[in-house]
């Protein structure tokens, strides 16, 4: 049976759900699951609607919805089911490994178009899965030059998302703006704790009993973008800083993997610095 | 500002959400949050709708909804916000203690009308909170006699729910039927593991690494009612059976407490042997 | 059968375990469980030894151990099994409630000698359990005056620990020094995230997906003492700041309760800014 | 600096720790971490001792230890640091994928000597990592024949452990006996719940709120061997049986991975039907 998916966000107003469901009913679309949320802080309305039935006249449906909704409403009808992504890496393998294995067995929910790295370290692994690896060194280059090369490599593909799978370079505002709301990062701490470098050393010295990881969209404020997933893992006094790194990698992998699943299934909306997630 | 809550369950059909939201809009009620779910296995539709605005003509609203909905639809408009409950206990204090403390500080979401116990052990504790304690011994009585006395005590109150807070008597089908869908139990294991008696001894002998607890509605099939909450807690080889009991109590308390919160906030629907929970 | 417990900490050296176990064997004490740890960063040795058998000549045993151990070794033989504590509160009940219920049923592992509050709010609750409540207002007093009154009240008791169960006054270095390594606090965040005031508002605005709580010993560096327990609880976009507070309280209660259990069972050593915990 | 590891298990007796540490001191070996446990139910003593210093005369050290220990004591001095394993699979990739990625990057703690499957499905994936894949069909064969072929394939390698990474054939008592205490399995449920086939369908029908996975040693009692790791993952009413399978795989992968780490680091002792784990 045909299934459809509609995503809507707009300013909040009285009667939005009634309006939307009336229009959908007129198009013979039956709602099988509807999630909606009003973010009262920002006065924004968000809806994710699963439908049985095929959208026959997409343009007309969109027009009829827009007619009733507040100005600047954003509507997506049947967004691309299998996202297209690039994965950016440096030297650490754990997030890339998990991603490429899921990809190989068609359970990632996305097609990995390429992997780009500022070191060669992960080339052999990537190519074993028949995925192109672009080596773009940052050495002896300005950030501008480096990112220009990166952009050239990425823009050969029609990408929905760029996944920073332990990519250890800070991206410029221009780069982030170019791929606005499309960049997902995994941060090696329970943000906002341990912002910045060497979080595991900081964590060790602070004597924490839990390590965390945070998957988030990247914005211009470093380590400050909308959080998608946070997870923690217990540690104890027997862990030195090196063992904390090992434990932390497990949770980084797990948090990024869950964030990708949620984003690729169109379950995540961005509302200012926060995310609305219809799990 | 006025807020209202409507709960609906019925056979699933095309266009239910559109119908419901149209009727609500006609009554000038604005949906602030709507959760709906279609249980495809049972072909049942469930909705929980938060509204801003006051329901002015409750009878007429209900009638107009029933007109459009499939036969036998169940509608609740503004169910009692503070539930009235009785707590049944035997000798263990941990679940009762947590419940009465929350009650004392008005954060339970329910009024504890009485505590009934088949031992006197918890009388002193209960009465410190100015709550009536009914001692109803099961000794030298048939189950029928015992439950008749219990029913007499309970029916003095207008109860929404009966919470079995480590009440160690098995209730008869007649008793369960009398309070259908109103009895919440905390079971001392991760059901369906360790059904029956001495689950912690069973768990110890099996060498498990996690203990669980299950809060569920009581039905006539012992340990088989719809599950509301399950939680686990890690244990290890240093725990003997007695220490497993202690650890298990923590998780029993936590699971029952969460289940009560969900039920008392009208977030839990029963669908056959499963629950639909709009958290 | 008699059981004994010995705690030792000292500078690390070769052969400490051999030395200790030899002395214990000479005293006819059989080790049933031994936990030891060398903190390589600080070059400190920590041991917790469970013994079957009764220590007959405590002074001589201690002397023989000290003879072989490095200078300044600290030895505790059979520390007081049931600790004596005071609980300091302000207005929030959840940690106090849990503590007094456990105390009432003799499962806290400590005797609550008194509760002291800088508001009257929790007097009625406390006195229901026949525990003295000392109201010591901070209003119109210097910190020095306030703490002098507090000290006078506390020093009537022979206290092993002072538990800050949501006590919202910052204690002076002099006070902390007076009760060095004896003050346990529950902090309303996953330290070091959200240091300072209004952590739940900060957490809400940051859009976190987990809330945390940290139980720690109090030192002169605010929110910087050795961490005993950290726990987290999931939240999502539907939580406003008030609901985050409610969720946070659950985890505060749970973390403090676990920390008390570990400390009262003599399982926690302090090593600089970190804890060694033999769970 | 040289490090050594000694594992000991034997009948419990008075003075074992003193004896062992005395012998170690005579060999100029300094204990950096010692974990010991007496299983009172079975009256067995277990110890795992980390040492700094090199064992110079292994045979003599062993002899001197055996002299003092109860009869039939088992001693391992510096067990092989990198274990040699075979992985057995059927069609599901998730556990194998995780294992081979860790192996590729030298973080598994073991060398995967081969993968053997009763289907060809995972050959391509395995061979991408340059690991031999043995296809041994079970079709049209008795269990005896099938296992004879399997044994022939496996016995070409000098294996420490055989990991059943979603291997869906039940092994005979003879096979299990041949590789006694060497076979690690991942079971798709929170044992002892949902023993047997289709645990996720069972779990769906029971309406559980948590799914579990259990990594255990294999014994002749199906699903009854000593448990190494158990983990759970939350599910809710929106999960159908297929989605439960997907969620369950995450936790299977995680539990097996942790179990392998513990076993390969020589942290796991078997005591009857339970495990002693020095994490």
Q: Where are the domains of chain A?
A: 3-77, 83-277
* ipTM for the predicted complex: 0.90
Using CA atoms of C21, C25, C31, C37 in order, give the dihedral in degrees to the nearest 10. -10
The reported pLDDT for the residue numbered B202 is 80
Terminal Cα distance for chain A, rounded = 23
**Cβ separation of A227 and C240 shorter than 8 Å?**
no
Q: pLDDT 10s per residue in chain C (279 long)?
A: 789 999 999 999 888 988 998 899 889 888 888 889 988 888 999 999 999 889 999 999 999 999 999 999 999 999 999 999 999 999 999 999 999 999 999 999 999 999 999 999 999 999 999 999 999 999 999 999 999 999 999 999 999 999 999 999 999 999 999 999 999 999 987 766 666 667 778 878 888 999 999 999 999 876 679 999 999 999 999 898 888 889 999 999 999 999 999 999 999 999 988 999 998
Q: Copy the structure tokens of residue C226.
A: 């050795």
Q: To which H or E segment does residue D104 belong?
A: helix D94-104
Express as a percent the part of chain A with pLDDT over 90.
Answer: 75
Residue of B nearest to C237 (CA): B279
- Which of these ranges, A59-73, A82-96, D180-194, has the smallest mean pLDDT? D180-194
Q: Residue A15 above 70 pLDDT?
A: yes
What CATH superfamily is the domain A3-77?
A: ACT domain (3.30.70.260)
Q: Copy the structure tokens of residue C253.
A: 């209660």
Of D191, D238, D277, the CB nearest to B236: D277
Mean pLDDT of A33-57: 90
A33 contacts in chain D (CB < 8 Å): 238
The reported pLDDT for the residue numbered A25 is 87
A227 contacts in chain C (CB < 8 Å): 206-209
- DSSP sequence for A79-136: --SSEEEEEEESS--HHHHHHHHHHHTT-SSEEEEEEEESSSTTHHHHHTTT--EEE-
Quick one: how many helices (H) and strands (E) in chain D? Answer: 8, 13
Of C30, C34, C38, the CB nearest to D15: C30
Average of per-residue pLDDT values in chain D: 92
Rounded distance, CA D162 to CA D217, Å?
10
Mean pLDDT of A206-211: 89
Q: What is the pTM of this model?
A: 0.93
A18 contacts in chain B (CB < 8 Å): 18, 21-22, 24-25, 31
Specify whether the CB–CB gap between A263 and A184 falls below 8 A: yes
Parallel, antiparallel, or unpaired for β C274-277 and B274-277?
Answer: unpaired
Residue D213 touches partner B, C-beta closer than 8 Å: no
Rounded distance, CA B224 to CA C106, Å?
34
Q: Residue B266 above 80 pLDDT?
A: yes
Listed in sequence order, the residues at least 6 apart from A167 whose beta carbon sits closer than 8 Å to its beta carbon are A88, A89, A90, A118, A185
pLDDT in tens, A219-251: 987 667 999 999 999 999 989 888 888 999 999
Residue of B nearest to A18 (CA): B21
**Cβ separation of B38 and A33 shorter than 8 Å?**
yes
> Catalytic residue numbers of C?
223
Rounded distance, CA B18 to CA A26, Å?
10
- DSSP sequence for C119-145: SSTTHHHHHTTT--EEE---TTS-HHH
The reported pLDDT for the residue numbered C182 is 97
The reported pLDDT for the residue numbered C240 is 87
Rounded distance, CA D193 to CA D208, Å?
11
The answer, yes or no, to whether the previous bond of A192 is cis (omega within 30 of 0) is: yes
Residue of C nearest to A237 (CA): C276
**Cβ separation of C191 and A210 shorter than 8 Å?**
no
Of B93, B128, B254, the CB nearest to C128: B128
Residue B97 touches partner C, C-beta closer than 8 Å: yes
Of C93, C101, C105, the CB nearest to B105: C93
> Catalytic residue numbers of D?
223
Rounded distance, CA D270 to CA D279, Å?
14
Express as a percent the part of chain D with pLDDT over 90.
Answer: 75
Of A230, A236, A273, the CB nearest to C209: A230
Rounded distance, CA C194 to CA C203, Å?
7
**Cβ separation of B22 and A24 shorter than 8 Å?**
no
Mean pLDDT of D248-255: 94
The reported pLDDT for the residue numbered A192 is 64
Q: Which of C1, C11, C19, C21 to mutate to test the interface with D (most CBs of D within 10 A)?
A: C21
Classify residue C190 by its DSSP letter: S
Q: Where does the pLDDT of residue D188 fall: very low under 50, low under 70, confident under 90, or very high at 90 and above?
A: confident
D186 contacts in chain B (CB < 8 Å): none
Residue of D nearest to C37 (CA): D33
pLDDT in tens, D45-93: 999 999 988 999 999 999 999 999 999 999 999 999 999 999 999 999 9
The reported pLDDT for the residue numbered C18 is 86
Listed in sequence order, the residues at least 6 apart from B252 whose beta carbon sits closer than 8 Å to its beta carbon are B94, B95, B166, B186, B188, B213
Average of per-residue pLDDT values in chain A: 92
The reported pLDDT for the residue numbered D18 is 86
Q: Which of D2, D11, D14, D17 to mutate to test the interface with C (most CBs of C within 10 A)?
A: D17
Express as a percent the part of chain A with pLDDT over 70.
Answer: 96
Q: To the nearest whole angstrom, how far is the Cα of D114 from the nearest Cα of chain B? A: 30
Q: To the nearest whole angstrom, how far is the Cα of A188 from the nearest Cα of chain B? A: 25
Mean pLDDT of B104-123: 97
Of A97, A105, A254, the CB nearest to D101: A97
C17 contacts in chain D (CB < 8 Å): 17, 21, 31, 34
Rounded distance, CA A59 to CA B70, Å?
33
The answer, yes or no, to whether the previous bond of D192 is cis (omega within 30 of 0) is: yes
Q: To which H or E segment does residue B68 belong?
A: helix B58-68
Q: To which H or E segment does residue A187 belong?
A: strand A183-187
β partners of residue C39: C44
**Cβ separation of C101 and B105 shorter than 8 Å?**
no
Chain B adjacent subunits, 3+ CB pairs under 8 A: A, C, D
The reported pLDDT for the residue numbered B145 is 97
Q: Which of B36, B47, B230, B254 to mutate to test the interface with D (most CBs of D within 10 A)?
A: B230
**Cβ separation of A97 and D104 shorter than 8 Å?**
yes
Classify residue C219 by its DSSP letter: -
The reported pLDDT for the residue numbered A224 is 78
Q: To which H or E segment does residue A275 belong?
A: strand A274-277
CATH of domain B83-277: 3.40.50.170
Q: Residue D136 above 90 pLDDT?
A: yes
Specify whether the CB–CB gap between B147 and B171 falls below 8 A: yes
Using CA atoms of B252, B257, B260, B266 in order, give the dihedral in degrees to the nearest 10. -130
Q: Where does the pLDDT of residue A41 fall: very low under 50, low under 70, confident under 90, or very high at 90 and above?
A: confident
């Amino acid at each position: 049976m045909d299934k459809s998916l509609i995503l809507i966000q707009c300013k909040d107003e009285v009667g939005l759900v009634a309006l939307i469901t009336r229009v959908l009913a007129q198009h013979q679309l039956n709602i099988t699951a509807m999630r909606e949320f009003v973010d009262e802080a920002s006065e924004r309305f968000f809806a994710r609607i699963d439908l049985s039935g095929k959208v026959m006249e997409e343009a007309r449906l969109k027009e009829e919805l827009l007619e009733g909704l507040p100005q600047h409403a954003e509507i997506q009808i049947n967004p691309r089911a299998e996202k297209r992504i690039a994965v950016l890496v440096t030297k650490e393998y754990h997030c890339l490994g998990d991603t490429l294995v899921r990809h190989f067995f068609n359970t990632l929910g996305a097609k990995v178009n390429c992997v780009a790295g500022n070191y060669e370290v992960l080339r052999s692994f990537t190519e074993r899965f028949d995925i192109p690896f672009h080596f773009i060194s940052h050495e002896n280059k300005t950030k501008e030059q480096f990112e220009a090369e990166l952009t050239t490599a990425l823009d050969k593909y029609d990408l929905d998302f760029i996944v920073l799978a332990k990519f250890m370079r800070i991206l410029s505002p221009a780069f982030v703006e170019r791929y606005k709301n499309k960049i997902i990062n995994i941060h090696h701490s329970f943000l906002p704790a341990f912002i910045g470098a060497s979080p595991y050393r900081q964590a060790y010295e602070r004597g924490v009993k839990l390590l965390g990881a945070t998957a988030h969209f990247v914005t211009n404020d470093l380590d400050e973008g909308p959080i998608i997933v946070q997870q923690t893992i217990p540690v104890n006094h027997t862990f030195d800083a090196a063992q904390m790194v090992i434990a932390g990698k497990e949770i980084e992998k797990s948090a990024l993997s869950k964030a990708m699943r949620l984003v690729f299934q169109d379950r995540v909306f961005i509302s200012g610095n926060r995310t609305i997630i219809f799990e």
